[in-house]
Amino acid sequence: MRTPIKQILIFTFILPMILYGKPQKKELNFFCGSAVKVPMEEIIQKYQQKTGVKINVIYGGSGTLLSQIELSKKGDVYLAGSPDYIIIGENKKLLIKNTDKIVSYLVPAIIVPKNNPKNINSLQDLGKENVRIGIGNPETVCLGLYSAELLEYNNLLEKVMSNIVVFAKSCEDTAMLVVLNKVDAIIGWDVFETWNPNEVKWIKLTEPEIPRISYIPIAIPIFVKEKKLAQDFINYILSKEGQDVFKRWGYISKADEALKFAPKATIGGEYKLPKKFYDILKNK
Amino acid sequence: MKNKTFNFLLFFFLGFIIVFFLILIIELFGYLNFTTTKNLNFSRIFWSIRLTITTATISSLIATFFAIPIGYLLSRYSFPLKNFISSLLYLPIIISPIALGAMLLIFFNTPIGTFFEKYFFRVVFEVPAIVFAQFVIIIGMCINLTKSVFDYINPEYENISKTLGATSFQTFFYITLPMAKKGIISAFLLTWARAMGEFGATVTLAGATTFKTETLPVAIYLSFASAEISTGITFILITLFIGMTILIILHSLNNKLFYDKNT
């Protein structure tokens, strides 16, 4: 039998060259927190079409992405799920100081399955008997940390912790808990409803219950190759065109709009898990 | 001379992989930072170690228990759709662990899954979920390994046993199984090691709950997920140390058993 040398050559060398060999002019490595994956996909597509710059996007948890930046010594733009990770990144000297900008604001909410089987209508209801709650892991997921803060602030930490059956490993995993009907409620962001409008709905928290409004920051890592290009991409995300996409997906782009939900809340800042949190976990 | 070249080549290939693995391990020490790792909570580490070893042992014992009869069946018998069935057993190898974890989560939403959780015990987000996820991940591999063990045992031994009046049960337990023992232990060890490193399906089905379902791989993930690289590396080294120690001890015990039997 004759060896099909020609075909083998085409498949091993020529075909990949045609498929992947086109020299890309410019590209950016974008480490993007998955809390904004949905609108960001659209923005990236638009930006690429407009400028021809290729965006290599890596979605993940804010901390995981920082670890990846540190280990690979790569990264042109970094978007985190909360300002806490900008502080960590700056302390670890991974991000250029004062390059961070606010992309969008996040309002906390209780998210329940569409039919709300346990009739949960308030933060207090999370402490009712026989209710199964899920939150993000407070040590690693910014949403989880925020959930712990919210419960402690409202003196519900002990009561609700006994109903918490699972810590999810990421923001989207937390959302999936309620989409798959695995828990009766989660503490999430209001935008979770726009991600899965047919499966879940959000229960608004009352104004005094919200201690802090979180936001999504974007910054430039120290490993940036073309700072000007990275800045241009950030500017596009912050431009009206970019912000319109966020708006369409239910994200809030202005501080005063976010503050309508909780006029007395602070914006940004840090929260540390109290010792009490670990004591409750150990004794559960 | 030619023999020497042959041996050299064999060792060259081995050396290539070993050197690569050693580099992977040694480079980790460069990222260890004792000023940050000294905050490590040892009781929490031991808790994770105990959970990981216990669940991996239970899941691989159950997997081996299932794999012995199934492996034997696939090795000795032919039946309709055998090819399809054998391929289906590769399901956990083909599908990514996270996808498999999601499939398991959905399974516990079905009538069978909800029936099980209602009348037996809760699985989802509890410790049994870890065992369950590990079991599903390793069972296909375990069956295939035990099948190849039986493939290498000449059926003639069994035929002779049967012609001498032994029943199928007697033949299996007194002839086949003792001959397959070493291979089955090796299969068990490999699946145990795989179960110990299982992450994707576990974290999806059992979650990543501190002091509840935080196995070593989950702890490694959580450390990297909170940008604590040094802590993550400490966990990697601990996992490596425990896994290697247990595997080396069991391998040498297994070799010793086999060696004693043949002398």
Segment A170-191, tens digit of pLDDT: 888 898 899 988 899 999 988 8
| Identity of the residue in B106, B124, B225 whose CB atom sits nearest the CB atom of A64 | B225
> Quick one: pLDDT at residue B262?
47
Tell me which residue has tokens 């346990």. Answer: A118
- A123 and A97 inside one domain: no
Q: Which class for B80: exposed (0-12), middle (13-18), buried (19 or more C-beta within 10 A)?
A: exposed
> Quick one: pLDDT at residue B263?
39
C-alpha span between A150 and A139 (Å, rounded): 15
Domain encompassing residue A191: 108-209
CB contact under 8 A, B227 and A92: yes
CATH number of the domain bearing residue A130: 3.40.190.10
Confidence band of B171 (pLDDT split at 50, 70, 90):
very high
C-alpha span between A172 and A77 (Å, rounded): 21
Higher pLDDT: A192 or A223? It is A223
Mean pLDDT of the B132-136 span: 95
Q: What is the pLDDT of residues B188-235, one digit of tens each?
A: 988 999 999 999 999 989 988 888 899 999 999 888 888 888 888 989
Residues A153, A266 contacting (CB under 8 angstroms): no
Higher pLDDT: A163 or A3? It is A163
Mean pLDDT of the A251-268 span: 84
Within the 142-171 window of chain A, which residues sit less than 8 Å (CB to CB) from chain B?
Answer: 165-170
pLDDT beyond 90 at A113: yes
The token pair that represents A154 in the structure block: 């409202």
Measured in degrees and rounded to the nearest 5, phi and psi for residue A30 equal -115, 115
> Quick one: pLDDT at residue B35?
63
The token pair that represents A118 in the structure block: 């346990």
Question: What percent of chain A clears pLDDT 70, i.e. is strictly above it?
Answer: 91
Which residue from A minimizes the CA distance to B221? A64
In a domain, A1, yes or no: no
Q: How many CB atoms lie within 10 A of CB B8?
A: 10
Mean pLDDT of the A112-122 span: 92
Residues A142, A212 contacting (CB under 8 angstroms): no
A275-283 vs A142-153: helix axis angle to the nearest 10?
Answer: 90
- A192 and A262 inside one domain: no
Beta-carbon-side half-sphere exposure of residue B65 (alpha carbons within 13 Å): 7
Q: How far is CA A144 from the centre of its chain?
A: 11
H-helix or E-strand containing B250?
Answer: helix B229-262
Which residue from A minimizes the CA distance to B47? A282
CB contact under 8 A, B229 and A67: yes
Q: Where are the domains of chain B?
A: 27-262
Chain B residues whose C-beta sits inside 8 Å of any chain A C-beta: 31, 105-106, 109, 124-125, 203-204, 207-213, 218, 221-222, 224-229, 232
Domain boundary among A141, A176, A209: A209
Fold of B27-262: MetI-like fold (1.10.3720)
- Given CB atoms, is A71 within the 8 Å cutoff of chain B? yes
In a domain, A281, yes or no: no
Q: What is the pLDDT of residues A47-86, one digit of tens each?
A: 999 999 999 999 888 888 999 999 888 899 999 988 888 9
H-helix or E-strand containing B26?
Answer: helix B2-29
- A83 and A71 inside one domain: yes
- A100 and A122 inside one domain: no
Which residue from B minimizes the CA distance to A132? B125
Please report, in angstroms and rounded to a whole number, the separation of the first and last CA atoms in chain A: 70
- A140 and A233 inside one domain: no
The token pair that represents A48 in the structure block: 């690429």
Domain count, chain A: 2
